[in-house]
Amino acid sequence: MANSNLKLLGCWFSPFALRVKIALSIKSLVYEDIEETLNAKSQLLLQSNPVHKKIPVLLHGDKPICESTIIIEYIDEVWNSGPSILPSDAHDRAMARFWAAYIDDKCMLAMVKSVRVEDAEKRKPYLEEIEDSLVTIEGELQKCCREGKGYFGGEQIGLVDITFGSLLGMMGIIETMNGRKMIVEEKHPCLVKWADRFASDPNMKGLIPEHEKLISLMRLGKE
């Protein structure tokens, strides 16, 4: 959809910016993708998100919207140019928000901590936390699969899919760092299929950051 007057302040490697890009793609919205540098934040970013000073920020005209999940919900409310990202039923919507919060509070937090820790021994408890949360997320996805749904959101990518799917790049980094797969067929059969489906969904075209680029960035950050 042309002329939507949208700008996204983001970073190519950010899972949070990726979430917004996926939502914009689902709604077929054209936007200006503004790549920020986080070591020297632009005046536009500081003005647009003076509280957290973080990306992503979506500018709709001159109005800024901050925080990835809030931005996704905003996009879903304002544009009906594609499938709904949140369910129409209030209880289903509450459950989608619950699982998105679980993924961020349990899985993502442990993932971020594990990436930051150099010592492999000290990393172990975080890897265990990630594994526990993956079992829980697999359990929820199995319920969706039994109902014949391909995604947490049903037949289309929804809020929970976006939230977890945006972490697959970081999961790849963790797998490389630790020399083993985290999402495996024996423990997470539905998640394995879901991850393939998610990555090859037309809405994801051109959005997934290259694994090698992410690894180089992480190595640079640790030097």
Per CB under 6 A, residues contacting ligand GSH are 11, 14, 16, 38, 53-56, 67-69
Q: Is the peptide bond before 56 cis (omega within 30 degrees of 0)?
A: yes
| Minimum distance of ligand GSH from residue 108's CB (angstroms) | 10
| Minimum distance of ligand GSH from residue 148's CB (angstroms) | 31
| Minimum distance of ligand GSH from residue 104's CB (angstroms) | 8
CA dist 183 → 10, 34, 85, 112, 127 (Å): 27, 32, 25, 17, 12
Greatest CA separation for the chain: 52
CB closest to ligand GSH, residue no: 54
Q: Which is nearer to ligand GSH, 16 or 152 (CB)?
A: 16
Cα–Cα distance, 153 to 171 (Å, whole number): 21
Cα–Cα distance, 155 to 190 (Å, whole number): 15
Q: Which is nearer to ligand GSH, 63 or 143 (CB)?
A: 63
| Minimum distance of ligand GSH from residue 112's CB (angstroms) | 9
Parallel, antiparallel or unpaired: strands 32-35 and 6-10: parallel
The tokens for 143 are 């319920």
Are 143 and 137 in contact by the 8 Å Cβ rule? The answer is no
Q: Which is nearer to ligand GSH, 150 or 165 (CB)?
A: 165
Q: Which is nearer to ligand GSH, 54 or 188 (CB)?
A: 54
Q: Which is nearer to ligand GSH, 57 or 183 (CB)?
A: 57
| Minimum distance of ligand GSH from residue 95's CB (angstroms) | 20
| Minimum distance of ligand GSH from residue 49's CB (angstroms) | 8
Which residue matches tokens 């957290």?
52
Cα–Cα distance, 22 to 7 (Å, whole number): 14
CA dist 207 → 8, 30, 70, 100, 106 (Å): 14, 14, 20, 20, 25
Q: Which is nearer to ligand GSH, 52 or 205 (CB)?
A: 52
